[in-house]
Amino acid sequence: MGIKVALVGNPNSGKTTLFNGLTGSNQYVGNWPGVTVEKKSGKYVLDKWEADIIDLPGIYSLSTISLEEEVTSKFVIEKNMDVIINIVDASNLERNLFLTHQLLETDIPIVIALNCMDIIEKRNHKLNVTKLEQLLGVPVIAITASKKKGLLELMHHVQHAAGNIRTVAHHYDEATESSIDRLSAITNDRFLAYRYFEDGLQGLAGIKIDPKMVEVLALIRADEAKRFSLDIDMILPNQRYDRILAICKDVLKKPDYEKESMTDRIDKVLTNRWLGLPIFALIMFSVFFMAFGPVGSWVTDGFVWAISQFFGWISSGIETLGMAPWVSNLIENGIFGGLTSVVGFLPQLAILFLFLSLLEDSGYMSRAAFLMDRVMRRFGLSGKSFIPMLLGFGCSVPAMASTRTLDRDEDRKITTMIIPFMSCGAKAPIYAIFAGALFPNSSYVVVFSMYVLGIVVAILSAVLFKKTIFKGSSANYLMELPEYRIPTVKNAILHTWDRVKAFLIKAGTVLLSAFIIIWFLSYFGFVDGTFRLLQDTELEFSLLGYFGKFILPVFHPIGFNDWRAAVAILTGFVAKESVVGTLGILYGVSGNVVENGSLLFANIRAAFTPAQAYAFMAFALLGAPCIAALSAMSKELHSRKWFVFTVAYEMIVAYAVAFLFYQLGSLSLGDLLSTLFAVAMILLVFASIRRIIKSKGRTCGSCAKCVIKGTCHSPEREEK
């Protein structure tokens, strides 16, 4: 076992870059129990000396406001490491040194890694590192994390620092330090005394202390608070910043005249009052166009062609081996067929990830959240939720993965739960055949209404969750806009590969077993009393077919009178594309129905009324998503309970909405009337949402009538 070295620093200060630089290819990503966020740990070896490097979520302060941040602050407060490497972004020295000063209150050895010195030089600023080291009293090493410069020197200092208990300097004025003296007589730890003085019980992050001591501590804190004119929670921060300002004056020399920075100039356009939103729409459209438009589908087609050739080649090889027919059928239809349908997403996924990580690296994503916050707040979410929801129109899988960029666990959960309602690309063929067959004159309106329906249900659900399950919690918004950076292709590709790899592993494990089960259900059945392998055209006799007929009564209230519809919906759980494919098989239509839906029009027209068709589309849209999305969802929700709840919720909503459309739609006959009716329904729902939101509207962040001075004691804060 090596020593434990934790990387602590502000978000976006280059921690992960440093982590990757230090651990190289030895790193592994591990979920640690009890937390919803990924902590990474990896090994660093220098000669015979070994260190476990731990990459923690970025924090601005040890006083936390989210679960993710608590992971880090708890780690520090429990002193779970031998050495802290505090990464400081030199281009943002003032604010970064705030956390440094909190860390300096511990007795853990600290080594400061000063990153982003290149930006300082570019700005013509001069930073005196030696002097900074003197003033802080701990080693300060200038590094360039992205170029792996200075890492060896950094680790030499870490090696040297390990095991030496640091003496904590008394940085505050006499009055403050004497208060701390009183508290630390009880806590027996000066660091905990500082934490308690600053944040009360919350500052101890769940460290167990004697309940009697809690009372004593609270009395002392209240008593001491009277001695200061400032609110008690402001005393330490104010003095820290005073000291930081003095330090910065000493070590940082700026030119008298500063020219407008690149970031300023770019933002004049990108967050411009008039241009900001159109440019945002254009950028998002381009990303979608690349992933799901001609380029994406061209790459996808090529990719799918290549893998089906490859699989076909293997299949024909297997056939010559003369294995049992069910074995080759399993391989061909079950495994290869299933994998092709899922792995077919891969090129689009990769393109999407690539562009998004380029946007993320450049710093544009925070601007997008800044632009959209006003809209998203109406639904109790923050601007950062917009991107994942938008991605949902392409594919739920990357959309759910991108919820990790959200700050708070509640926001991530809600966003993940409503993403499946966004009509993804794979659902489009379903609308195409039903709307084309039954609403020939208004198919565009009908298809569009499905998209609107998805959005409306998503928004209503978000508001509903906010009002019930996540009561009292409102998405906070306080966000730094980082300097624009030119994104590196290498980093973007690494990022993309990481996610693609995770997807492939999943496809090869969880999804593969699901495909085999579904294959078994659809290719085996009883024909004339014997249980045997079925032909493609005999799906009716399969176990799945029987099951479809068996549960058909459940679907009667929502308008499914044909077992084929039930079976088609069921196969949709593998991939939504297969809904149409299955209908093609069941109606005995030859040819590619997914690409040429009109082949199915006659059969659909014979089997469905417009109201039934509309209900079918609504159910396909809102019901539980495909297996790939389900497994992404279970991964992001991190909890079986939430996962089951979400799936059940989606099924119930889908059923209820389809029921409503079918029952009410059946009252009036005819194409036009039911279309009109659907539009009217949507308008009605819209109007009611407006009312709900207007009555809710304001988030707690305002606290307009709140008279409490000092620490806020709203229920949400007390919970933590």
Q: Which residues bind another protein (CB under 8 A)?
A: 60-61, 63, 65, 92-95, 98, 199, 230, 233-234, 237-238, 241, 263, 271-274, 276-277, 366, 370-371, 373-375, 377, 383, 474, 476-481, 698-704, 706-712, 714, 716-717
- 10 Å CB burial of residue 496 (0-12, 13-18, 19+) is buried
Listed residue (701, 283, 670, 695) closest to 475, CA to CA? 701
Rounded Cα distance between 64 and 436, Å, is 54
Are 166 and 109 spatial neighbours (Cβ–Cβ below 8 Å)?
A: yes
Structure token digits, residue 70: 């608590």
Least Å distance between CB 258 and another protein? Answer: 10
CB closer to another protein out of 219 and 703: 703
String of DSSP letters for 437-474: HH-TTSHHHHHHHHHHHHHHHHHHHHHHHHHTTTTT--
Least Å distance between CB 479 and another protein? Answer: 5
Rounded Cα distance between 314 and 36, Å, is 41
- How many C-beta atoms surround the C-beta of residue 416 within 10 A? 29
Q: Would you say the C-alpha torsion 591, 592, 594, 598 has a positive or negative sign?
A: negative
CB closer to another protein out of 440 and 715: 715
CB closer to another protein out of 147 and 713: 713
Least Å distance between CB 35 and another protein? Answer: 20
Rounded Cα distance between 269 and 276, Å, is 7
Q: How many residues does the chain have?
A: 720
Rounded Cα distance between 224 and 232, Å, is 9
Largest Cα–Cα separation, the chain: 94
Least Å distance between CB 202 and another protein? Answer: 9
Least Å distance between CB 588 and another protein? Answer: 54
CB closer to another protein out of 375 and 680: 375
CA 281 to each of CA 289, 394, 399, 569: distance values in angstroms, whole numbers, following the listed order: 12, 15, 17, 34
Q: Would you say the C-alpha torsion 640, 646, 647, 652 has a positive or negative sign?
A: positive
CB closer to another protein out of 272 and 668: 272
Rounded Cα distance between 564 and 584, Å, is 10
Are 296 and 485 spatial neighbours (Cβ–Cβ below 8 Å)?
A: no
Rounded Cα distance between 620 and 628, Å, is 16
Listed residue (82, 80, 86) closest to 2, CA to CA? 82
Task: For residue 698, give the 3-state DSSP assignment.
Answer: coil
Are 412 and 403 spatial neighbours (Cβ–Cβ below 8 Å)?
A: yes
- How many C-beta atoms surround the C-beta of residue 369 within 10 A? 22
CB closer to another protein out of 278 and 325: 278
CB closer to another protein out of 97 and 654: 97
Least Å distance between CB 712 and another protein? Answer: 5
CB closer to another protein out of 277 and 307: 277
